[in-house]
Chain A
Amino acid sequence: MKAIKLIIISLLLVLTTMQVMSQNRLIKGYVFNSADGSPVYLAAVQILNMERVVFTDESGYFIINQLTAGTYTLKVNSLGYNPYQEEVKIEGSNEQLLIKIDPSTIQIKEVKVSGERQRYSRMNMIGAYQLNAATISKVPSIGGQSDLAQFLQVIPGINFTGDRGGQFYIRGGAPVYNKITLDGLTVISPFHSIGFMSVFDTDIISVANVYTAGFNAQYSGRLSSIIDLKTRDGNRTRMEGKIGANTFGYDLLIHGPIIKMKPEDSRSVSYLFNYKGSYIDKIAPKIYPYLDSLGLPYKYGDFYGKISTVGRKGDQLSFFGHHFSDQANFSNLLNTSWVSNSIGSKLVLTPAGSEYLLTAYIGYSDFYGNIYEANKTPRETRYNNFQANIGSGAYLKKTEFKWALEISGISTNYTFVDLNDVVSRETSYTTDLNVYGQLKKTFKKCILEPGINVHYFSSQGYIAFEPRLQFKYNFNPILSFNFATGLYAQDLFSTVSEQDITNLFQGYYTGTDLIQTQFKGSDISNSIQKAWHGVAGLTTFFPNNLKLTAEIYAKDFYRLVNYNRNKIYEDTKANKEVIDYLKKYFIIEKGWSYGLDLLVDYQNDWFSLWLGYSLGFASRQDEFSTFTPHFDRRHNINLLVNYIPIKNVSIKARWNVSSGYPFTQNMGLYEEMKLDYGTLIQSLTSGGNLSVLYGPYNEGRLPWYHRLDISAHWIIKITKTVSIELNAGVMNAYNRQNVFYLDRVTGKRVDQLPILPNAGMVVRF
């Protein structure tokens, strides 16, 4: 109740502030691409002879306020578009424009560079990467298409644990601490079991904002990082699409107008449907006969659909949904699968007579996963999420204020087998209420962006106040300093321990019944996990399109809930004297991650280079010990090269070299007394089982990892709108033997994927 009162008071304050702020004249509107009717993101909108530049958001919206009545010349510039200019006469309190800009076939290099610098100087981009389809396409295609999962691996600070069931660790944060949203809705398990495939077709991604640390108040509910994906709308002027097939699978994309956008109007309805599926499980034995016994038994199918409408004034309403599925079937050993569904709607509008942009979305997502292992009872997990969000913003001359209110209902269900061989089902429900406010104040040389996120976790009866701050100082047009800090809270935890290296399955849970009740002498009354981030960096634009970024970061995960690998007793009355550390399913931990990330980004017309280096340190502490988590990779280098020798032909290469992950060595082997259910009545004279005595936890190191992927692409233009792209590539080009796992008893080793040549063809129309 206290929380609800607090949120209502906050909202009233916000609305009052917005009312006061709105007493001015302004120009607002949307910028669209004239060719396909899509909103243009990050177009620079400027009034000639005035300093102020604003940038359009994902819906193409912009606003310039604090103006007086009169006539202004409005100029719009965006990378890849012809400059646009228009005389605007303001008579009333505001003017709403609908601007369509034409794509340009010629990109002037200087304009491109200065545009990026200008945009960068006005945005806080600390620890953040803004990716679009073109950026993602820089990585060599494995299985025909460059994929987000492959590009994420080259971002400094992101560690990936392997081709098969590998996990992403973003600046020291485990996968469950990373939130991935698709058009605002949380997506559980966005990566396929095969490791280098995400559920997203690169061609449907409008923008993917990756925040590796220090993200601001607009994001909450996760401790470590955010990947915020926005999908594109269907073409509003003509039907487009692609049909592709390659050695791993196939993909289909079709989008176009249902009601066509006319040149003088914005009203339109468009559709977009995409499906990608795989058949690698069937053809791998034929085309890769040298694969080990594990083979490539992976199967996936990803559907995404979207209907988008644009109103007369540019307001937008869209409906979207997805159905993603994945299966890994290692015959008798392990069979795991998951299915993820969602349906949602998003509204973007500027109410008549108002300067606010109102955004709202509502959606429901569902995730179900299971695992069947030899000799074990199946495990299942379910995660259902209902989300509704409404947000707006107010704008003064050099100040922006954004706020949003979100309510989400989450239920988790996890089925597992306890030590007594009893199938247990743990279900948890929570309704989270979340409100944030974020202020952006632009000074002559710096930008200050304080924010606060208030998160009410109803099932825990806990309110988390999460202040955030981002700061940027532009020393000069080419050198800037960035800083960000903040507190973060999260209630969701997974049934995967940070001690597990690869996982094809993880259950989800938000309850409190199964966790440690005391940690280092302090009572633990809830399962809220908490962290602090601090990140600082320098970015400089050298001449000749060379950009250098250096960042240092620290994340203090001062309370984590982790799956208990030390559990040896059942949590029953009989064991009431046993400490929680040895009997609870989940324990409390804390830990630090810190490091240095460097990025060199160079691009010219025929060559681009992306060189990232990460130096990272991670540690964790539980009730009794301090240890190194398995993702504590010290060095990680990623080199990405794109080379265009002739028009329509490109060669892409990615080389990754990184130091080995820690692992626990064997101290020795021993013969263990039989542990089956007949133990009580078996004689000590019968033979035992071979077991392992472990050495100190994670004090060994795996060998260095390195791998080279190469692909070549040739685009053949058939007509003005139809083209064929032929591609061929090779993954792990020099067949490096990077270890996947090792049988501790026999010493038998299974490596990650060997050399995998692949080829494909995409017809675009």
Chain B
Amino acid sequence: MLKIDNLQAEIGGTRILNGLSLEVNAGEVHAIMGPNGAGKSTLAYVLGGRPGYEVTGGSVEFLGRDLLEMEPHERAAAGLFLGFQYPVEIPGVSNVQFLREALNAQRQVRGEEPLSGGDFLKLAKEKAGLLKLDMDMLKRHVNVGFSGGEKKRAEMVQMGILDPQFAVLDETDSGLDIDALRVVGEGINAIMRAPEKGVLLITHYQRLLDYVKPDYVHILSKGRIVKTGGPELAQQLEREGYEAVAA
């Protein structure tokens, strides 16, 4: 469902991705691990279409469409979800308003009817419950005053509400304590573990993978995938470090 071929990208003239290739099929969870500066977040932003991240070569096909030709909001409507490493605060805009407008904007692009206020609240309540996030948090402004862990759980509530076909999760595990890590891991499984869905998990550490078992683990180094394996690769990394394994 996601096919990245020889992707090259740069930021402000500095090349970050150096011919990255990767294919994720429906029903699969892939983990991308790598040291700081390997290009993990750049990959996430390029897939999401963030301004300033310039693709200089290669291609990305998503559900049979040219992802790189699409605007960021069109990518979302097509079923791509980008979980942010640092979720953004939006003062003055409540989560409920933000997510309802976002969901209905996506539904409109897909030719679906908008969800009523009541139906939306029901859906939001269900997904918040899944992530053990108090519904009152969703009435507050987007991420404003949320702790690091609350922001990450709120990201997953957003994912649950928007129900994407594919999720790119950029260090969703960072900033989480052990209990929150388990809740978030179980949330990812509940929302995204399905035969027609796919996940790209970007992480530094093996610990999230205890809860969300990847089918494949890739090591990213200097802007390209240098090694691919099964879940055991993540464990080997944890024991031996990037330098030994990726060399």
A and B associate in one complex? no
Interface set of A (CB-CB < 8 Å, partner B): none
Interface set of B (CB-CB < 8 Å, partner A): none
